[in-house]
Chain A
């Protein structure tokens, strides 16, 4: 159905006002897409990084450590049980629970555990058992006989089997500490949870997890745990005259977002204040009965600190890249506005002749630009949202990101529209004041010389390696060098052209035309070469930065961590069980002195036959293959201790002596030297030696290696599984000191640089696409300018296809020149800048170069696409034009 007449008229008026030239509007909309995407992607990326760090850190931490745990007991300083105080723990529990709930933290899982075990007599040997009460446990255990009631306990199947006691019966026990007889009314029998423990039982892993018994050389089950309802547990504690350990735990849901985590951390801070309030019920109970004041324990603030640190490091470069991309898009929109006035110069002149003011012209341009800019900006924002969610660190974005992104989008759109208005008004003012014949200024600015001078000034610190990582200017050096190289090359084109003029005449017409135009090296051709080299050079540069950072990060993680999992062992006298598969023990001696030169160093005592299969592989640029090094170490047949010297330029002698205080002095022989080695956690010198030979030498020197050396287990695999296997095998380690390669990769400095350069690569790819499109559009513009000349050539016999092919070839050659400069110049120049971009200088090795294969592939694809696109666009333009009109327009 056709729209009624007034409606159609209104639509036509709106179209005339808002969309008079759809082709130009489409170009503007594409620029606005880039503007919106660049501006909005920056805050989205920062938000995504914030959520991504949170998710990664959260995944690395045991669930219980990120949650909140408060502990107390009925045990006062006097260490004397008092039944009244034990009984009032119920009220104390209620007060703490209420304090947590009042602050919106939710209802905690409260648990009480009898301080001293209970002894249960069985037919064989007496069994000790633990009495535990946990709120909500009814749904967390599988009851095989009887049921959970308020006046009976659940005993594990193991205890029921050993005692022959079942539901409805009583289990006589006595307290280990006081000897008091305690009768447990049995309500049911449950199945003990097994490893890996469900999250609910994780806080009680000390009671439930099997452990290695060195005496039996096998894994043994823990003491049976009797589960009691809270009120009954208190009554039984009173009966046993034994104190209770109290614990409240609040887990953070597995799907908790970073916003929710921040809210919880904030509430935990307020919780401490609330519970310390003199008027609070908790303080009253603490004061009256001497309960230890419960203090929230959580690693949540530490995790959030890591999140904040990463975001603080990542935000400036990401925002700079996003703002730079947005500024470039705004500049292009300004160029669009200028081009709009020029392309519609006749219209502008006519309107100015009829008295249109620049303000009115600007208003008209603004109305025309508003729709494409708004729609393009919104489309760009949506594109950025999708890309960041799909390709960014996390798909979940914090809540505060959207307002910031929308504000930036609004500001960007407003600035773009204002730029269109200002550029239009300025050009109309010039048109209005031109008066008569306008003569171009004869003053020409020597851009190439100026850029070259700036490049030299900026590049010297980069080449000499004296630039600081905090300096911003050296980062521009690769792009400046690329621009200068492209400028010099394009300026030299006419010289090549004059020499090759004779040879060109023998070429086919299309090739002759294309090469003649390229070698003429006119301003437009030079501009194409320089801008193509710049945009594609940015793609290469960003690719080098991103890929090199990833490679450097992986190498640093390999070197700093040593292996997937490194667990420092607690010094112990007993022999632990066998090592899990894919693990080895490495001895560590820190702070030895190496002579000659008295160089301070650390020593790693390795098992050469095991280490190569366990340690993280070394990047080829960071050192030779580990297997070769270990073979060299193992193959030594001298009478000294063989050693690989790592990262110590001053230790040049082949034979060294290592001393540790006044304890010992050992002769070493250097069998290899490398720059980096797994387990090298600082820039100090590292000696990698054969552990058996080193220990033997120590024993020969009258020292006990077990007393002198620290030991670590290095293992491959997932940390949780490795640590569980170590625990099960009886290896004792300090969980807080366990290192993983993922933890090193997750260092804020490394992660922030990796992500920010990844983002820069995405922005640069957009710039590359714009550059490619720009070249194609430029070719089309050239074709419009040459319509009359082409028509003359056609009337002289040049086939239309040859004219189009010449245009495509010309553009392809210019783009290829730009691309060649981008690869040949920007690639090595980017490698120089890498030296000043070490995100963690304290961790060896230094920055490693990685060729951005994917970026170069994209660049080549783009360079190939340009002539194809040009042929398509110009072919269409050539088919559409009419000869008569062309000659009339030319007149």
Chain B
């Protein structure tokens, strides 16, 4: 049985979201829609200092307010255990355990009341007296402790320093990006309910099994005694990948008042409570020959992270062994910026290093293309500078250094259509019409700039489980405990199951968002479609196999003795591939065997090459040419993530500093596109996020207090419709052989490269090289 023989009607551009109708009808219940009998409401009090400790908490007035059930502070919260160590998704410090404050916005009290309004009103009456320490709030604060190689994935090949020394052309620059806040539309909400010692939680999360693990650890429960439900999540952008203190506090509050409790974050709380994209600073040098051959890249990236509750504030930098500090200061998420640098171009000498600086700021979180977006901005901006230095077209420069094989390991890619991204994009955009002279293109008062950037995105796949059932009525039910954060997981998985089972899409129901279902990884890293889609595919294949086993010696079945290679599935029917008249329906088979249904469990796992690429890259880093020989002897293939090219036309009013984006062409190699409409939506959404990163988004902190100064959707700017031009999304390339469904993730790649392409367009229009995001009016005046 092969894909080509399966039902094409299940795939293609025209399949609407299966969750569209319930969402439009209001029948899709997000966590904030969950109402349970007897449910109380919680509100939070946040610290108004960034470092120090609580001296006194006066809760009397709040406790006396109408409707207030309880006030929980560190003085009465009781002990909560910290979640198990997790390198990717470090659990939060257990909330309300002591008087120490390590960031502005840290929770200091929870009020539970009959209504949300009562809880919020009472929260304003809590008076907190602090003993304030001087906080460490910026990268350049001398008191900030900086950690080198914090994630152990610094990479090098060749000798970048030596190559720089003799290079014909060198360009360098310092690039900065601002902290950003995810701001999914749906405020994160937890509804918690206890039944004895078992806990049920409805939560806004992209990672329900992680939430389950953290809650179980917090309250000393077995994981099976915690159930996390998240069938609908109002967006995430990465904010839902970690577990957050408010989720623990909702469960704590529910236990204290012995009633279900709903806790819904306010928009300002969303700016400190569910992570943010950290600010970064990058120093980058690129050296090349006169004819445009790259000879060396030296890239150092520094990102900020929360001080962490375990670490005392204002601690002098320590020289602890990095491994120890990584494992012992585990409450921040790794945030490498230069991790993709070694894989981007065929350059013989590369050094890529990361640093982390810990500050008195709220915890960070991965946000759509974390690190990739920032690293790409620096690399693709500086390559543009190099193209001007060389007098070479920026596309030609990139093609001149095209990485035919994965450049760090020397191993072949599983697939790569980046060349097509450039050529197709240039054609559709009309790149040939570009006059490369700075400031040469005008439209009335507007200076016109064309900018482009290339993208090489990392591959990611995690282990995933699924379950598939075919019913006697000819319908199927497929499930896995993943989440659909609005990306289309429900729809795509329904399609993939329907494809294998040979059922119309409306005969397949896909269920997700419940930790009682088979375990799935987070909706993150652009890896869920690959992991879950492969699991669904494998499980459905196993189900067909199971059906064939049922009839393997069934004299009444025309499929007797058939193996899976012999059959195709079509319209609810299994039939011989070479004679469609010889077959029967699922209903007929199950009916004859007296079965109401047939269920199988299945899974998918990343290939060994997944981890092998990282290991191989590090081996080359450490052992140089010898390492490359070792890695080459593995004859492995590098599973490729997506590739892309961005083409942007900007308009700049030079007198007023006003920058507008006129049009964007986004070309992506996304492997096999299962649902073009949804994939296109993902790329468009990513592009809009890229516009935000490039010209609007910045979480501003007060320099003295560390308070987020623009924590509303009126003050924190994201693009509105009027800022978003026509976005031409094109897919190139074909199915990727690294996974059975041929896909590559599209959740993040759309964002990557947009900022650099815009900045490069601004330079082309104005001659001003802006290396600091966002590019606002004041920078262009």
Q: Are the chains A and B members of one assembly?
A: no
Interface residues of A (CB under 8 A from B): none
Interface residues of B (CB under 8 A from A): none
